[in-house]
Structures are given as structure tokens and as C-alpha cells.
Structure 1
Amino acid sequence: MRIAFYGSSLLSSYWNGAATYYRGLLADLAQRGHQITFYEPDAFDRQQHRDMEPPDWAEVRVWPADADSLRQVISEASAADVVVKASGVGVYDDVLLEGVMAAARPGAIRIFWDVDAPATLAEMRAAGPDHPLRRCLPRLDLVLTYGGGPPVVEAYEGFGARRCVPIYNALDPRTHHPVPPDPRFEADLSFLGNRLPDREARVEEFFLRPAAQLSDRRFLIGGNGWETKAMPANLQHIGHVYTREHNAFNASPLAVLNVARDSMATVGYSPATRVFEAAGAGACLITDAWVGLELFLTEDREVLVARDGADVAAHVAALTPERARAIGEAARQRILSEHTYSRRGAEVDALLRTEATRKRERNAA
């Protein structure tokens, strides 16, 4: 099928946490015979921070973020068999959603793909029936989400979605895998994530507090926005870490920390891309607690779980290199067995084929 996918960016992970997710899923769908055109705006300096060249498995259309270009990329939706509008494009989101769904041909499959469902659902609740997505839901065939599990499915279907299916993050073992340690990223505990309002307090609790308690240990933080944040002397900030460096970032420290954003932790069932990247590199992962974790990793065998900063500090203080390696390898084997983008791609491919059959049968009736 010809898929027109309107998202934030495929070529850059700069202020774009969905990049790994898009790359893993769309590369697998292309291997299954789908023809993909990805439309991303030239915005937020992402094109100046590319960490990937246009791939051979997708045509990438980078469009200037202006009204004329917007009209052009909207019109091109009419040539696709599947039209996908992702959340969080960052510019013209509402106009894009309404425009591409209206431009899609009658037999096309219309999909909203939500990479931040808790935030989107909160917006819809606050805005009421006039929210653009709420108005559009009855015309969509599918809502796919980055995570969220039963609470997100129930909420979307309560708002009128015909069908909502979580397509969770996963691992592409060709991209994220074990590598030798890199001295630049050596630490006792590392964390990678951008500074965001609904994450900062949890980073303070789960990362900055343990760093202050364990003054003789080395802590490392990567990501955008932390330059002005006061940090303990034993905590180093290294700025944006390009995707090509994620394996070394994850493979070099004793342990890697995952901290969910407030909304993701509240809803649960929302493993970040970092969870799978770290597991793929064989890292020992320490994560904050959230509902649904057991679907992906088993506590104390494949992951260490912390309920607060004191738990993180205790895990780091007690962790030996031997135990860290054992946990990391167990996590890698679990993820390789059950949570790869090949499996996720198969899920999406089956959904598309089922939906296409349903549409043909309905039109023939």
C-alpha cells in the first residue's frame, strides 16, 4: 500500500523523541512491501541536527513550514492508500489533520497515530466537543497509539474512535545493539532525556536526588534543555546525544535510568524508546515504577525498579558489574524474543490489510 505519513521528523531526533519509533516501524513496513512517503516540516532546527540521511525504504519530503507548502503536502494525501497524521508535528497540527483527512480519497484508510496519548487526551477533555481531533474521530478508521494500554483505548473509544490499538515502542536490533564501552559515557548511572515540564520533577527525584546522596559516584545526563539546571558536582551534562551514539551511551555506564513523564507514569503501559534502546545494548536498566511494566520486563531479573530516589540510590550502591551484566543480558534476550519492530510491523501490517478488506467489502455491498 502507498502510505502518506505526516509526522514530526524521520531524519532528526533533535527535540523529537518519536524518531526511533518512526524509523523502526516504517522500515519494517517497507520490508513488507508498503511504499512510504514521510512528510516532515523544516522546523525547530531539526534539519540542522540530522542524525540520519534519507533512507532507501522511504521517500522523505521535507517541507518549508509555510502556508503554500502546507497546501501542497495536504493535496498529496489524495494519492495514498493509507493516510496517517501523527500527533506532535509541531506546526499546523490541526490544519494538517483536517486537511489530509479531507483530501484522502474515499477508499483510503485514515489513521491518527498518537505518540503522546496522555497529553492528547487531556487536551480533548479540556477543550470539549470542539477539539479538532474529537470532531475528526468519527471519520477515522483507526487510532494507533505509542502506548497507553487499556486506559488509553477506553478513553479514545469513549470519545468516538471506531477502533484504538496501542502499537508499543520496540527494538530494532540492527540499530541498537551491544558495543564496546566509550570513555566519554562512563558513569555509575546515566540518564538520557530532554528537559520537559512534565518530566523535570521526576528527574529531580529519581536522578538528581540520588546523585546528591551518592557524592562519590559519577552521574551523567544527556539531552536538551538541562544547561541552566543546577546539578550536583558529580553530575555531568553532555547535551544532545545523537542517535548514532545511543549504543555507546547505554553500553558504557554501570546502569542506565529510565524516567517516565508524569502523564505516561500516571496512565502506565507506556515504555519509552529508551527502554528498548538500553535493553538492546545490553544495559542494566533502572526504571521508575509504572503500571504494565511486567508486559515488557520482569522486575529484579531483567530490570531494577525504583519507587523513589532513595530506591535508585540503593540500587546503584548495591549494584556490581557482574549483576549489572546479568540483568542487561536478560533484558536483551527478553526484548529480542518479544519486543522487536519486526513484531510491531507485523501488527500494523495485519491491521492495514484487515481494514483494507473491510473497506472493500463495505463498498461492494
Structure 2
Amino acid sequence: MESTRNKLIHLLAENKDTYISGQKLSEQLNISRSAIWKHMNDLKKDGYLIEAKSKLGYRIIGYPDKITANTLQWGLDTNWLGKKIIHREVTSSTQILAHNTAKESISEHGTIVIANEQTSGRGRMNRTWHTKKGDGMWLSIILEPPLPPYLAPQLTLLTAVALADTIKELTPLHPLIKWPNDILFSNGKKCAGILTELQAEQDQIDYVIIGVGLNINQQLEDWPEELQQRATSLRIESGTEWSIQQIIQHFLVSFEHIYDLYIKKGFQVVKTKWEKYGFRIGEMITIHQLNKQQKAIFYGLAEDGALLVKNEENRVERLYSGEIDWFDYSSSD
């Protein structure tokens, strides 16, 4: 159920170039004029500049530059994703908070959990994800997809495409996707990671949590020395500071669009886009599996999202697991 606050934001957005009367807002929201006044004051606390004129009503003339549930809702052009947003200034991990929310059945499909800062952010294999307040996008998406559990890894690849599309469309940068879950650039430095987790029964997904971390406005000195050779941000790569709110909203629109296509048409739509961003497609990589090591050419993605490689015998193989050396030096996922 959409909250009264969100309905008010949507009404103001629809009338952003003119005034809307308090009486009309009261009638459409089925609340009192005094309740409208209270909501307007709360929006002002979030940083909105609201102009009120007698006999005309209200309109918004300025927008906040901080991230809250309200500021993300304002102008978010999605149909179902992010209609419920849980925001925290600081949390240990949006992924943990999202799991707790889903388990308590207080979320819905498309709920976003977002924080300005994480104190215990994590990536794959419980690796630490370093975050700094107000400089990146740290969020988790709660989904209830009509998919069997074995297809859940495809959502990681789908999310990577939505991230890469966002970076490509909003910045002059050219992102690459390192299978299965990293966004980086041609210099090999990583700016984003994805963590997909699920709760499922044998043949049915209860829910999926997709965690996304994107470095946006960090400077190099914001990371520990050992990460400075591997980590980067959109600001470092472009030399420009970016609107975090705009990037988050654009990412959510991109995610919803490709998710809807995927549910309707299948993985092929994701595969085609993913391969355009694929890091080192057509190049040699080193694969470690148990006691076996081999060199192979990264050939692309299989129809189910597995890694396709052409081995030294010129045979194409599918890889579902194993450690891959993508670089000439040690790197982490």
C-alpha cells in the first residue's frame, strides 16, 4: 500500500509547474488540511523548498541534495520498483536489513533498502566492502521473482547490465562487466559489486535479495592503501562529481526495465546486452578447478548464464564454478 507521503509527493510532481490547492490535496489524499500542512513541513525538513501562496496552494521550487526515502521517491519513474523504500542514515549492511525485513514479511516485491553509510558492508564470500558516508550507492532490492531457485544467479548478470547501462548513459565512461558480479573499467579497477542471496525451498523462491554497491564520488585517499590499486569511483575515472540521487533513480529505472523484459522474454535479452559489456571476451583467461589449471578463451555467456570458454583443444565448455585469473596479478571479486 502506497503511503500518504508518497502519494503527496506524486501529486506535487504531477503539478510541479503550477500550484495545487490544499483543498484539492486534502480531497485526493482523504486527510485534513492540517495534516497536509504537517506533511509539507516534513518535506521541508528533508530539504525541499516549498512555496505556499494564499488561494493558490503549494508547489515545490527547490529540491534537496541529500538521500532520503522521500527524495528518492520524488521523480522516480518506475511502475513497481521502489514504491516502498526503507532508508537509514547508517546501518551495518543493507543486505542484512533487507533479509530481516523480508523474513518479517513487512516488505513487498520491489522494496528498496538503502543507506547513506554501511559499517559492515560485504561482498561475495563475506569480503568487506568499504563505504564512506554520502559518496556512493549502497542498496539492496527485495524481489519475489516467479523463477525456480537455479535461475537466481541470472539476476546477478541482469543487475550488472542495469548498472553498466546507468554508467554508460549518465557519464562519459565505458564500463565493463567482469563475470559474474563486478563493474570495472579498462584499467582493471573496480567501481561496483553485486551480491545476490536467496531464501528458497526446493522448487520455489521465497525471496531474493540483490545487494549493490557503487562507488560514485570517492577520492583515492578514501580507501585503505591496499585497495587503492584495485578500487575506483565514477568521480576518479571521470574527474567529475555526480548526483548520487540521479544515479540511484536512473539505476532503478534501468533495473525495472530489463527485469520486466527478462521475466517476459527470458535470459536471451540479458545475455545479448551483457556480452556487449563483457570484460575480456575473446581473450585468454586462466581457470583453476580443484587440482586442475587450464588456459582458455573467454567465449561469452551460455543460455543459462554460465561462462563459456574455448579450451586448448578448441572445444567450448560451460563453467559454473572455479576460480578465474582475469589479470596478470591477484585480484578479488
Fold match by TM threshold 0.5: no
More strand by share: 2
**TM-score using structure 1 length:** 0.23
More helix by share: 1
- The structure having more radius of gyration, on CA atoms, is 2
